Structure 1
Amino acid sequence: MSIDYSGRIIAELSLAGFSAIPGYGLYRLIFHFSCQVNESNNGKYIVRGLIAQVSAGRSHDKTKLLGKAIPERPIVIQTFPHSHRNSISFYLDLTPAQIEALEEVRKGEDLFFCFDMKGEGYKDDQHWEAWDQLTIPVNRKTWTDVLRQIGYADFLLFEIPVPHSNSPAELKNAIASLEKARDHFLAGSYDDTVANCRKSLESIEKGLNEETAQKEAVRHYQRNRDEMSKEERQLFLREALKRYTHLAHHTSETGANFRFDRAEANMVMGVTAALVSHAMQRIRNFVGPSVSKE
């Protein structure tokens, strides 16, 4: 991006870094720019009051308005007989809903931010509107790192429980698989998200020694679902979810692969996390299942 006047380039901006911090009910994205101010021997050029409208999307030519980026401190770009370099930063405050909307659009791919920057330029008694655009590509690894910085994963619709020191190894494995599922989700690998949720569910079965009870709950559902106990219904839910997650490794009758999208992966991850949390609570309370049999 360059700021010019009558064809003369006064300053050139390039992205130097990208960071983020969480706040109360918002996330602050910070764009750090390096500003190369060119020399001028025929008068002093001054640009001040820079502000930017920011849009974002999966490609540079398909973006939607995101918000207004504000300088962290007042910016004055001024030329001298020698060139020099400045550092300037803009911040953009986003709500959790906006971050979620970006994630829905991104679908695990890269993001593009478009800065429509404007300011006021002065030279002697002349005044003009300084304007230019800058497109900033952010690859998915960098964006995933930013999501971690702001704690976005902590605000997904579930919490990952902390294993008790006396928890069976299989339940600890269930939590480890759930953590991997979350990492894959942030990276946009939704099939891998679901696959790790399946591993987590299988670890719960083994950790609680409920493989037989879970199968019996399915049989009871087939025989007389109305008489199922609360515990049986939960076991049935776990089995149904496990069967649903198997789709990631199966093909349909037409030979097409089943693929999970973001919403489906989020659903699976949320229910899996709830089942893992409940299993951990039962371990703490030393409560086991009570599957009735006919």
Structure 2
Amino acid sequence: MGEIWVNMGGTNNAARLELKSVHGTSGLGVMQLRFQFEASCRHDASAQRPMWLEGKVHAVGLGTSSGYLGRLAVESSPVTLHSLAATATFVLVADLDHRQVQIIEEHRTGGVKFNLEVTGTAMTDGNLERIGVGTIECEVNQSNWVAILEQMQYRRLLLIELDAPDSGRSTEFAAALDYYRDAEQQYIKQEWRLTVEALRQTLAALVGKKAEDEDGAADVAAAAKALRKESREVDTGYPPRAEQVRLALKFMCDLGAHPEAAETTKADAYSALLMVGGLLHGWQPAKARIAAQSSAEENEPLRATAARA
């Protein structure tokens, strides 16, 4: 993936640092990029001289959003090459937050490029001295970047600041959540049309229907009209209104109305992903919630009588 050379004292190219792979991991509220290197001793000047490496990492190729991501720190210090031609592996890590990864996702058009500026110090006769290292640019292709996002557990949240709901609510909800996860994966892969199709499946599965059971514009309008009429007579609450949102979103995600692939853009997929995620976050079947509400209203006089007694 690339290499940089270490200069020590008056010796150029005393050691080589070769970038072998890039991985991701997750922690408590933080994600981490892990750049794995192999160091090799190319001159006696670098043998038996412990090195402490550090640096900075930048994201490049993202237009005006390109820039500094964070500090690089070696995971295990120091890195020591014990003899000529000896090798040692080490990892430089950079901590990222969710917003940084989100900005990358909003602006990348394929893979991701990183620029690593590496520097450090080495021990010589009991004294520390700065060593010259250098800069390396590495490109992570799209398939590898998708794998890194998985490793960092990016989008384990349905939306920013919305925890993923419990899939154990019902079999219908579990199926809907699976389709939503697929939509997230398709979005990460920049498959905008497949993202919207998976969301259409999500909205159908939520009420135990198939995606091809389409509701036309007239059906959506009629349902909204009926609910408006009902709301004048009784307190309908949120559940029936949420069902209207589901119907409208499913109508929005009907790809039959958008036959050309180019008609479904990144903005379309992203807005649909956000809206469906918000709907899932607080979803409960309308009938069940209406029944619970009616039961509570029926029992209210009994509770009041008991309280007076």
TM-score in same-fold range (> 0.5) = yes
Deviation at 1:29, TM superposition (A): 2.1
| CA distance in 1 between partners of 2:17 and 2:206 (Å) | 53
* Structure 1 residues 46 and 258, CA gap change in structure 2 (3 angstroms): same
Deviation at 1:259, TM superposition (A): 2.8
Kept in 1: contact 2:51–2:120 (CA 8 A): yes
The one-letter code matched in structure 1 to 2:185 is: D
Match of residue 39, structure 2, among 28, 35, 40:
35
**Partner residue in 2 for 1:261:** 266
| CA distance in 2 between partners of 1:43 and 1:111 (Å) | 33
**Partner residue in 2 for 1:139:** 141
**Partner residue in 2 for 1:235:** 243
CA deviation profile, 1:16-61 (whole Å, cap 9, x unmatched): 3333332222122222111121143x8968473321111013479x
CA deviation profile, 1:123-157 (whole Å, cap 9, x unmatched): 78996641311112212222222222232221241
Match of residue 217, structure 1, among 223, 239, 262:
223
Are 1:71 and 2:74 matched, yes or no?
yes
Match of residue 4, structure 1, among 7, 19, 22:
7
* Structure 1 residues 289 and 193, CA gap change in structure 2 (3 angstroms): farther
The one-letter code matched in structure 2 to 1:8 is: N
**Partner residue in 1 for 2:181:** 179
| CA distance in 1 between partners of 2:95 and 2:202 (Å) | 36
**Partner residue in 1 for 2:86:** 84
* Structure 1 residues 10 and 76, CA gap change in structure 2 (3 angstroms): same
* Structure 1 residues 145 and 239, CA gap change in structure 2 (3 angstroms): same
* Structure 1 residues 8 and 238, CA gap change in structure 2 (3 angstroms): same
**Partner residue in 2 for 1:197:** 199
Deviation at 1:282, TM superposition (A): 5.2
| CA distance in 1 between partners of 2:205 and 2:221 (Å) | 15
| CA distance in 2 between partners of 1:182 and 1:49 (Å) | 40
**Partner residue in 2 for 1:56:** 59
| CA distance in 1 between partners of 2:275 and 2:139 (Å) | 34
**Partner residue in 2 for 1:106:** 108
* Structure 1 residues 188 and 175, CA gap change in structure 2 (3 angstroms): same
Deviation at 1:14, TM superposition (A): 1.6
TM-score of the superposition, structure 1-length normalised?
A: 0.74
Long gaps (5+) in structure 2: 295-309
The one-letter code matched in structure 2 to 1:236 is: Q
Secondary structure at the counterpart of residue 263 of structure 2: coil
Kept in 2: contact 1:178–1:197 (CA 8 A): yes
The one-letter code matched in structure 2 to 1:91 is: V
Kept in 1: contact 2:7–2:15 (CA 8 A): yes
**Partner residue in 1 for 2:307:** none
| CA distance in 2 between partners of 1:48 and 1:225 (Å) | 75
Secondary structure at the counterpart of residue 22 of structure 2: strand
CA deviation profile, 1:95-127 (whole Å, cap 9, x unmatched): 2222222222325x2111111111246778996
**Partner residue in 1 for 2:253:** 245
Are 1:149 and 2:180 matched, yes or no?
no
The alignment covers a number of residue pairs equal to 279
Long gaps (5+) in structure 1: none
The one-letter code matched in structure 2 to 1:69 is: L
Kept in 2: contact 1:47–1:122 (CA 8 A): yes
| CA distance in 2 between partners of 1:235 and 1:12 (Å) | 62
Secondary structure at the counterpart of residue 34 of structure 2: strand
* Structure 1 residues 187 and 249, CA gap change in structure 2 (3 angstroms): farther
Deviation at 1:161, TM superposition (A): 4.3
Deviation at 1:266, TM superposition (A): 3.7
Give the CA RMSD over aligned residues: 4.2
Kept in 1: contact 2:6–2:132 (CA 8 A): yes
**Partner residue in 2 for 1:23:** 27
Deviation at 1:7, TM superposition (A): 7.1
| CA distance in 2 between partners of 1:134 and 1:249 (Å) | 47
Match of residue 130, structure 1, among 132, 139, 152:
132
Secondary structure at the counterpart of residue 73 of structure 2: strand
**Partner residue in 1 for 2:167:** 162
Are 1:118 and 2:124 matched, yes or no?
no
| CA distance in 2 between partners of 1:192 and 1:289 (Å) | 38
